[in-house]
Each structure stands twice: as C-alpha cells, then as structure tokens.
Amino acid sequence: MSQITLDNVVKRFGSVVAVDHVSLTIAEGEFVALLGPSGCGKTTTLRLIAGLEIADEGRITIGDRDVTYLAPAARDVAMVFQDYALYPHMTILDNIGYPLKVRGVSTPERTARVTEVARELQIGDLLARRPSQLSGGQQQRASVARAVVHQAVAFLFDEPLSNLDAQLRLEARAFLKHLQNELGATSVYVTHDQAEAMALADRIVVMRLGKIMQVGAPLEVYRNPANTFVASFIGSPPMNLLSGKVLLGQGQFVLDDGETVIDMGQVYQRLERPPQDGQAITLGIRPEHITIHTEPRPFAIPGALYVVQPMGGETLVNVRVGSKLVTVRLFQDEPPALPEKVWLEPALEWSFVYGADGARLQ
Amino acid sequence: MNRYKLRTGISRALLLVFACVMGAFFALPLLWLLTAPFSTQANLSVTFPEQPSLANFEAVFANKFAIRALFQNNLIIGGGVMILVASIATLASYGLSRARVPGRNVLVYILILFSSVVSGTAAMVPLFLLIFNLGLIDTYQGVILVMTGGLLPSAIFIMRDFVDSIPRSYEEAALVAGASSYRMFRDVAFPLVRPGVMVVAIWAFVNAWGAFLIPSVLLRSPEHMPASIAFYSFYTEAGTPNITLVSAYAFLYTIPVLLLYLIVNWRFGFRFFGGIKS
Ligand SMILES: Nc1ncnc2c1ncn2[C@@H]1O[C@H](COP(=O)(O)OP(=O)(O)OP(=O)(O)O)[C@@H](O)[C@H]1O
Ligand SMILES: [Mg+2]
C-alpha cells in the first residue's frame, strides 16, 4: 500500500486539455473518489496513474517512486475496468489468476489463491466458466477478484458499477465498501454518480473540464460546496441556485425577475467577502432547508405550486419562483395538500452565497 | 389483409424460384466435379456413371509431373504464402490499429491501390526483372514473395477491421496486471484476433492455390510448376482437354483446400467471442 501523488499533471489530446494542472495527494489506505460530469477527465486521470496514458506535464509518484514515465506493468497497481475486460477466451479461474501468472506464481499456488479470493467474493463455483456465461454482477465480482488477487500497491476503479442495474448497484456498492474496509487499500474510484462517491469515499475530488473544483470529505463537500458547480453537482436533488442582485442598504436580495425580494437579515454581514451594493450573486439553498407555508409570512418568498412528487420516504415539491423552479424536500411520506399559491421560507443560516464567478463569498 | 397475404405469398414464391435457379447455377459444376471423375466416358453434362470406376485416378497418379505439382509445389507455395501473409498481416494490422500513426488510413488505402497493380498483369515485366535481379527466378521463394506482396494489403485491410473491433481494454487490463507488451500480445491480443488470422490465412492459401499468372511467369522448370499449370499435362498435343482426367485431377485439386478449412474450423473455429459488457 502506498501514497499516490499527482503534481501539476497535464494531459492533452490534440486541442482538448483532458487533465489540466491536477495536483492531488492520496494518502496510504485512503479511498478517494473522482467525481464529475461526463468528459471532465476522470478516466484520463485514472489512466495516467495506471500508466495507460503518459502525462504531458507534471509528475506522478506512487509510494516513493516517480512513475511518471514507467510502463503500466512496472507500477504494480490493479485496475477494474468499466467494461470489466475479462479475457473472453480464458476461464474465470485463468482470468483471476492472470496477474499471478505473469508474476511467475506456480500453478498449484495460483489455483489455491484464486479459489480463496473467489470464495470470498462468492463466485467460487463459477471458476470453470467463461466470462460470457456470467451475469453482469458476477462479471463485476470476477473483475474485482482479478484486481485483489495479488498485493497491488493501489486499486483503481473506473465506474465499476455503471453497467449494473439499480438494485444490483446498491448491493455491489455495499460489497465494495466492505471490501475496502477489510483491505484498507489505497484506492482511486472514478464515478459520475455523486451518491456512489458520497457512500464509498473517504475523500471526494470534484472535477470539471479537467480541473479540480473541490477536494474534501463527503460531508464537508456536501455542507460547504466551494462553488456553484459543486453545489449543483453534490446532493440529490441538487441545491436550488437563485441568481439575483444585492440590495445592501435594505439587506435584501432581488431575484433576476426584478420582483421577488428576499430579506437576507444578517446573512450579508456574516460573509467573509461582503458583496457590493448592486453586485450579482447566486443564493444557494438545499431543498431540505426550505419550509413551505400556505399563508404569507415575513421573510418568505411567494411562489406557485408546480408539482408534488411522492418518493416513498420523502416528498419533493417543485414551486415556481419567478422563472425558476425551486425544489423543496419534505421528510414525510404523505404528500401534503397544497394550494396554488405557497410561500417558501428558506433557512438562511443554511444558505450559501456565491459571487458572479461562482466562487463562494463566505 | 388477404391481398397483403397474397402479395407476400407471390413474392415469396418468386424469391424461392429465383433462389433455386441461382442455387442450381452454382451447384451444377460442383455436382459435375463429383460425378465426372468416376465415370469412364465423361463429358460436360452431369450424368451419374453406371459403373463408377477409379480408373481416371489411376491415370492421374501415373502422371508424376502433375502429382508433384499438386502435392509438393502447390503445398509449398500455398503454405509459404499462407504463413507469411497471416503473420505479417497480423502484426501490421495490430500496429496500424493500436498505434496513433498519423495518416494510417491513407496508408492502407494506398497499399490496396498498389496491390491490385503489383499482382496484376501490368507489373509482370518489372516484377520479373526484380525477381531476376534477386536471383530468385524459378524458385519457390520468388513466387511466394511476389504473391505475399500482392495479397498483404488486402489482408491487412481485412485484419485491421477485425482488430479494430476488439476493445482495447482487454489489452490494457493485461498490461496493468503486469504483463509485458510481448506477453500481453501472446496471452491476450493474439488469441482474440485468432479467428481473423484464420480467415486471412485460408483466404491467402486459397489465393495462392489457384494462382496461375505469377508462377507461370516466374517459374521455368517443370518440377517447380504448381497444379494450375500442371492441368495442361492432361491436354492432348492438339490442345483439347482430356475431360475425364482433368475432372479427376480437379477433384484432387479441391481436397487440400477443403481439408484445411475443416481442420481450421475444427481446431480453432471461426466463431467470435463475445464477453465484454457494453
Ligand atoms: N484517447 C483520446 N483521444 C482524444 N480525446 C480523448 C481521449 N480520451 C479522452 N479524450 C477527451 O478527454 C476528455 C476527458 O475524457 P475522460 O474519458 O477522461 O472523461 P471522463 O470524465 O472519464 O468522462 P465519462 O464520465 O464520460 O467517462 C474528453 O473531452 C474526451 O473527449
Ligand atoms: Mg470515463
């Protein structure tokens, strides 16, 4: 097990900068999730660590070795591919045993170790089969088994659950977390599913357009999104982002429609970088930090009821405010009976204020 | 509804008739090849011999020149071309598919364009001079090299399509697992492209097996001639073919190709593996 560091790593494909000056340290035994929308450079970052791509700039070290220009085989990492990449012409036994075989482990020992790992991952009775004779979940386990069968210094996962159906994905997620707790291995896990990242990782790295937007523990990233991008990406349903203008004298916030006014109370004074009068800002409020009222109230924003979505344990209510749809999350299973016109009261102490550039003002 | 049924019924019937005519068109010569060698007075019509005999084969086997052409020269030339084309095409197509070579598509198309010239009649004189200056006239090597050169571009083209269709993550998984490039190619990439290699190998063998022009230009001595030329030993002085003997020889001529196909199909199979999750 080893620490992994990326120091100002850049990778370009023609004119596309897939990874843009990424610096990151992954501690020994830490489970880090790379999270971001499609095309943000997560896979490329992972492949750079694996040695399947070579960085154009910057350094990569694993343990105390500079591996920037080393071949994949010399890096001694293990990787689980998105499509599993189980060799179709080999049995599952040979598939899982392949990393041992290239290391010259003798056949009896190899068989013994593969059998042991396979039994732990509950695919022990499938060893004689070909990959095409396995279900998606079994293939996923086989590819994880191939990764853990030898003592690699780090594990790399590229969206290993994205090919599973929703039910199986939850199961496999729990299984991966359990495995991680047992192995305590340094792991880098690529996903575009924020729930997966939150559930699995010790730390989340949010990426966008090849750049790191924020690094932090899951709850830290959830509670303190550093910018509007992270705010809109983490959390399901995502944070409500309302853009508007500051009226400093009155301590008010005017939405872009020019009509809806929110009394901000003490919020402006609490900001580290207080906004100017008339400055454009974005106000972020999580759906669970809004209360719905059926009568006007001080500090409440008027809106028109749009839809009510019962989700089982909770209920989502969409309300039209100006031209925006605001989502409210109610922790009740019974959908409330609401009139056409409602008033939303944001818990301003939980609100986030972002500048025009998207960066947080607190 | 009924009219629709009637229409599809008629079009089906027409299709069936058409298929039968086409089938007969292609099957008749094959049928002839099965009956004529065993009859003593064969002609160009398909008639089942009343008293099948092997006399024709006795006569053919007595022709030492023709038998050496078939079972020695043809096998050497066909086998040589097959091995060279299959191995070079595999490596070249793999490289062209996997490496980021600028203009690699153009390269393959230009090669294909040239190959039709290279193995064609137009290039026979320069080819002859080239082989002459290399001192390879009247050698198997000369014929094998020229035919290999002619077949390679198309073989690379076919193979590259095949290699392109195989996801790279198999190979990447092997590399990350700790395999060297050579090891990865041997253990993972080659077994995956093997069905394609087999297709190209058989295709090259069949092409070399039936080749006439190149050996007739580059070979001189009778003991080097392939079977396609040895057919002329069953012609009379006046140039008319002895149909019974020609049919028997043609029968023997097809057997190795069929055998090769059956063996490859039995041993490796032309099947394609599935097995990547997409
Ligand atoms: N081999 C390549 N050649 C050219 N461009 C590439 C290559 N690989 C990636 N890119 C580009 O680099 C950028 C980052 O790609 P990457 O695969 O890392 O994204 P990702 O975050 O993994 O996305 P996804 O969630 O869709 O898998 C994209 O714009 C992509 O088009
Ligand atoms: Mg990806």
Tell me the two tokens of residue A323: 């031209």
What is the per-residue burial (b if ≥16 Cβ within 10 Å, else e) of B225-241?
bbbbbbbebbeeeeeee
Query: Which chain A residues are Cβ-neighbours of B192 within 8 angstroms?
Result: 87-89
Q: Which pLDDT band, with edges at 50, 70 and 90, does B119 fall under?
A: low
Say yes or no: CB of residue A38 within 6 Å of ligand 1. Answer: yes
B278 C-alpha to center of ligand 1: Å?
17
Ligand nearest to the CA of A53: 1
CA B272 to ligand 1 center in whole angstroms: 29
Say what the ipTM of the complex is.
0.85
**Which of A15, A20, A40, A54 is the pocket-test mutation for ligand 1 (most atoms within 8 Å of CB)?**
A40
Interface test with B, best of A13, A54, A86, A89 (most B CBs within 10 A): A89
What's the maximum distance between 2 C-alpha atoms anywhere in chain A? 80
Whether B276 and A85 lie within 8 Å, measured CB to CB: yes
A75 close to ligand 1 (CB < 6 Angstrom)? no
A330 SS3 class: strand
Query: Which residues, in sequence order, are bridge partners of residue A243?
Result: A282
pLDDT of residue B272: 46
Domains of chain B and CATH, by start: 55-267 (1.10.3720.10)
Euclidean distance between CA atoms A137 and A172, whole angstroms: 8
Q: pLDDT for B32-51, tens place per residue?
A: 888 888 887 767 777 777 77
Chain B touched by A54 (CB under 8 Å): no
- Angstrom CA distances, A218 to A34, A48, A131, B86, stand at 12, 24, 35, 54
Q: In what order do the strands lie in the sheet with A324-330?
A: A290-293, A341-346, A301-310, A315-321, A324-330
pLDDT band at B276 (very low <50, low <70, confident <90, very high): very low
CA dist B163 and B169 (Å) reads 13
Residue with tokens 């041993």, as numbered in its chain: B267
- CB atoms under 10 Å from CB of B165, counted, come to 12
pLDDT at residue number B270: 57
- Identify the pLDDT of residue A315: 92
Judged by phi (left if over 0) then psi (alpha if -120 to 50, else beta), residue A157 lies in: beta
As a whole number of angstroms, the distance between CA A40 and CA A38 comes to: 6
| pTM of this prediction exceeds 0.90 | no
Chain B residues in contact with A85 by the CB 8 A cut-off are: 167, 169-170, 172-173, 276
Whether residues B169 and A83 touch (CB distance < 8 A) is answered with: yes
CA B163 to centroid of ligand 1, rounded, Å: 22
- The amino acid present at A101, given as its one-letter code, is K
Q: Render A122-164 in DSSP notation, one character per residue.
A: T-GGGTTS-GGGS-HHHHHHHHHHHHHSS--SEEEEESTTTTS
| A-chain residue closest to B189, CA distance | A87
pLDDT single digits (tens) A168-183: 888 888 888 988 888 8
- For the CA of A192, the closest atom of ligand 1 is 25
Q: CA-CA distance, A254 to B111, in Å (whole number)?
A: 69
DSSP character at residue A73: H
Q: How far apart are CA B53 and CA A283, in angstroms?
A: 99
Which position has the token pair 């930090």?
A: A289
The whole-angstrom distance between A197's CA and the closest CA on chain B is 22
Lowest mean pLDDT among B23-37, B111-125, B129-143, B250-264: B111-125
C-alpha distances (whole Å) from B207 to each of B81, B121, B257 are 9, 16, 10
Q: Which residue, among B247, B255, B252, B155, has the nearest Cα to B201 in the 3D structure?
A: B155
pLDDT for res A32: 96
Tokens of B114: 């040239």
Assess contact for A344 and A328: CB atoms under 8 A.
yes
Q: Report how far residue A317's alpha carbon sits from residue A330's, in angstroms, rounded to the nearest whole number.
A: 8
